[in-house]
Amino acid sequence: MQADRWTYGSRLSDSGKKLNLMLRFLLGLLAGLLTFPVVILLVAGFGLLPINANTSPSGWENAFSHMALNASVRRQSPRVPNPIDPTEEHLMAGMTIFKNDCAGCHGTPDTASKNESDLVLYPNAPQFALHPSRKPDYQLFWIVKGGIRYTGMFAWGGQFAPDASGRDVSDEKIWTVVTFLTHLDSLPPAVNAEWHKKSAN
């Protein structure tokens, strides 16, 4: 009888130890979860975070931002079909818009290497002549139309001049550029020659 009581008491003691360990673990986890954002806020509040644009993102920052961007684009961009056929005329028009409005940041075959080495934006704008985008059309359209927060990529929706009738042609022009970008690896000879033509400047 006494042995039974000792065994029962021992089991209660073991259960108490396990419960105590579990509580300590949970309290430690909660403390860690609360401490991390507080530390980030303190670091930011004391001005210890670097904010200059003329540097390259660290490896972890680059990986995290690309992961967040890709996940957000996949989730939020509606799967709308591209209304612009990849004809030579449309591809030439898309290339013209790109050279006039986008190439200053995103480069051309003539300027992409220099753009990539010059640290003037943080993060640096993708150089499509060197690294063509593999995103589907609808995702590129969503990015171009709405821009990307905390980068140099502003929203192009509504930024183009209306046509002669006053109609907003922004979506049409954005789709035309997107069609050009998604066909960089298979441009017709005439468009490809114009794309690779060196600028007069």
Residues 96 and 185 placed together within one structural domain of the fold:
yes
Residue 54 falls inside a structural domain: no
Domain range spanning residue 188?
59-195
pLDDT, average across residues 144-171: 92
Residues 170 and 72 placed together within one structural domain of the fold:
yes
pLDDT, average across residues 111-123: 88
CA 157 to each of CA 67, 144, 154, 176: distance values in angstroms, whole numbers, following the listed order: 25, 8, 9, 13
Residue 201 falls inside a structural domain: no
Total number of domains constituting the chain: 2
Contact indicator for 188, 91 with CB cutoff of 8 Å: yes
Q: Which residues contact 175 (CB under 8 A, 6 or more apart)?
A: 82, 83, 84, 137, 141
Q: Which of 17-21, 99-103, 120-124 is predicted with the least confidence, judged by mean pLDDT? A: 17-21
Contact indicator for 174, 145 with CB cutoff of 8 Å: yes
One-character DSSP codes across 86-125: --HHHHHHHHHHHHHHTHHHH--TTTHHHHHHS--SSSPP
Residues 20 and 102 placed together within one structural domain of the fold:
no
Residues 25 and 92 placed together within one structural domain of the fold:
no
Residues 15 and 63 placed together within one structural domain of the fold:
no
pLDDT surpasses 60 at 164? yes
Give the confidence band of 9 by pLDDT, cuts at 50, 70, 90.
low
The proportion of the chain whose per-residue pLDDT surpasses 70, expressed as a percent, equals: 92
Residue 148 phi, psi dihedral angles, 5° rounding? -130, 125
Residues 149 and 63 placed together within one structural domain of the fold:
yes
pLDDT, average across residues 8-28: 73
The CATH number assigned to the domain holding 81 equals 1.10.760
